[in-house]
């Protein structure tokens, strides 16, 4: 099934081609003055680097790069352009000199530093030799979860991930403080459906979006609950779920979306996710363990009641780690809540804000 050819390193060839693509795209981004071109090219950059990550076998990271880099960040950048002028100011040659020197200098230092890095996949490299190896060896016994990335993220280093979740929540708060929750867009009655000319009827788009939105949401839950087994988890699933909401807003209008997923609701869910995550940690303390020590998530007499059929019969050498399974599932749900609600809140903030200040030259008919 694998197309292995002796004497031809497909991996290396792919790496080289993808890197050349990245360099070309970056050069084009640096050269363009139009923000929209830059945004499109950055989307392409994300796609290429995600493919590159896949080639490097970092499937979870590639997943995140795909949904965040190519998906949500493009849309948020568009929202940011709406609030600004949309074109870079011309900068004189002399003022560009120092940044260019700095950038080239830092780049040279970084390239010099890579010479000392261990080879890709080198078994003796620090990343593979000490902690990483210990995780790989211990995960099966400690938790019985096949995806070590998920195990490390949500159990071994659950405290880190709690911090990251709080950071995401803080991002939602930050955007909301600057741009608001977009709720004024709901009350705004002057917003007409935009239409520039007679050809502006997007029946095909509406039908396709109607078909796709439930599929995207369903896929988000697949990614969520499959995260223990394959690439994926709460972060990725949360972003995908948010993308479903964003697609609805793009096609059917922000007002309709806000009627379905109320900004207040999104706000509450974002907070609920962090609360759920930290609450699981506190539950572990209450039941006699450390913070986020899932082995103590359930009191012993309750853990004994959990029926075996959920995961199939346990074999004596590898008992079910119910606390780990349910703990990871619960905190991943918390991450899902926070990430999805945060992305939706940020989108509401940008899109709702941009409704207030229509750009000159926007095609808008029927407003008279």
Partner 1 sequence: MLLIGAAAGLLVAMSLMIARAIMGPSHYDRILAANSFGTKTVLLLAIIGFVFGRPAFLDIALVYALINFVTTIALMKFFRYRSLAAPLTTHTPKEGGNG
Partner 2 sequence: MADALFWAGGGLAAAGALLALIGALGVLRFPDVYTRIHAASITDTGGATLMILGLCLISGLSLVTLKLVLVWVFIMLTSPAAANALANAAYSAGHTPWIGSFRIMQDNRKGGSR
Name which of residues 339 to 368 contact partner 2 (CB under 8 A): 363
Q: How far is the CB of 190 from partner 2 (least distance, A)?
A: 22
For residue 346, give the 3-state DSSP assignment.
helix
Pick from 308, 356, 367, 363: nearest CA to 82 = 356
Tell whether residue 212 is a contact of partner 2 (CB under 8 A).
Answer: yes
Among 204, 304, 357, 362, binds partner 2 (CB under 8 A): 204
Tell whether residue 63 is a contact of partner 1 (CB under 8 A).
Answer: yes
* Residue 70 vs 335, nearer CB to partner 2: 70
Radius of gyration, alpha carbons of the chain: 24
Read off the DSSP letter of residue 315: B
DSSP collapsed to 3 states, 87-130:
ECCCCCHHHHHHHHHHHHHHHHHHHHHHCCCCCCCCCCCHHHHC
Structure tokens at 312: 């199939």
29: how many CB neighbours lie within 10 A of its CB? 16
311: how many CB neighbours lie within 10 A of its CB? 13
* Residue 283 vs 342, nearer CB to partner 1: 342
What is the footprint of partner 2 within residues 19-78 (CB under 8 A)? none
Task: State the binding partner of 204 from partner 1, partner 2, none, CB within 5 to 8 A by kind.
Answer: partner 2
What is the footprint of partner 1 within residues 207-266 (CB under 8 A)? 208-209, 212, 215-216, 219, 223, 226, 230-232, 236, 240, 243, 246-247, 249-256
Separation of alpha carbons 266 and 324, rounded Å: 28
Tell whether residue 25 is a contact of partner 1 (CB under 8 A).
Answer: yes
* Residue 88 vs 215, nearer CB to partner 2: 215
Tell whether residue 215 is a contact of partner 2 (CB under 8 A).
Answer: yes
Separation of alpha carbons 359 and 353, rounded Å: 12
Contact range with partner 2 by CB under 8 A, out of 56-64, 105-113, 193-201, 333-341: 193-201
Binding footprint of partner 2 on the chain (CB under 8 A): 1, 3, 196-202, 204-205, 207-209, 211-212, 215, 363
């Amino acid at each position: 099934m694998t197309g292995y050819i002796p004497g031809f390193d497909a991996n290396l060839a792919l790496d080289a081609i993808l890197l050349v693509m990245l360099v070309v795209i970056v050069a084009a981004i640096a050269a363009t003055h139009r923000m929209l071109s830059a945004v499109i090219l950055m989307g392409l950059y994300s796609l290429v680097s995600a493919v590159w990550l896949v080639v490097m076998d970092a499937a979870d990271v590639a997943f995140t790069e795909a949904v965040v880099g190519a998906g949500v960040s493009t849309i948020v950048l568009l929202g940011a352009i709406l609030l600004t002028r949309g074109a870079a100011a011309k900068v004189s040659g002399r003022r560009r000199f120092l940044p260019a020197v700095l950038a080239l200098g830092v780049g040279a230092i970084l390239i010099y530093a890579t010479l000392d890095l261990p080879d890709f996949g080198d078994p003796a490299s620090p990343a593979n030799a000490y902690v990483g190896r210990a995780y790989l060896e211990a995960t099966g016994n400690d938790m019985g979860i096949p995806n070590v990335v998920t195990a490390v993220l949500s159990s071994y280093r659950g405290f880190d991930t709690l911090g990251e979740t709080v950071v995401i929540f803080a991002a939602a708060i930050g955007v909301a403080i600057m741009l608001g929750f977009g709720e004024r867009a709901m009350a705004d009655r002057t917003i007409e459906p935009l239409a520039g000319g007679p050809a502006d009827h997007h029946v095909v788009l509406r039908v396709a979006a109607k078909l796709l939105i439930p599929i995207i949401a369903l896929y988000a839950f697949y990614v969520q609950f499959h995260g223990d087994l394959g690439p994926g988890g709460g972060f990725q699933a949360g972003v995908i779920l948010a993308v479903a909401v964003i697609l609805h807003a793009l096609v059917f209008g922000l007002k309709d979306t806000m009627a379905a997923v109320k900004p207040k609701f999104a706000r509450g869910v974002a907070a609920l996710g962090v609360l759920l995550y930290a609450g699981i940690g506190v539950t572990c303390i209450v039941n006699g363990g450390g913070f986020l020590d899932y082995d103590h998530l359930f009191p012993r007499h309750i853990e004994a009641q959990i029926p075996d059929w959920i995961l199939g019969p346990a074999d004596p050498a590898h008992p079910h780690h119910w606390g780990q399974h349910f703990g990871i599932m619960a905190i991943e749900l918390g991450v899902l809540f926070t990430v999805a609600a945060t992305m939706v809140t940020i989108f509401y903030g940008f899109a709702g804000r941009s409704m207030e200040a229509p750009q000159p030259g926007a095609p808008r008919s029927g407003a008279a």
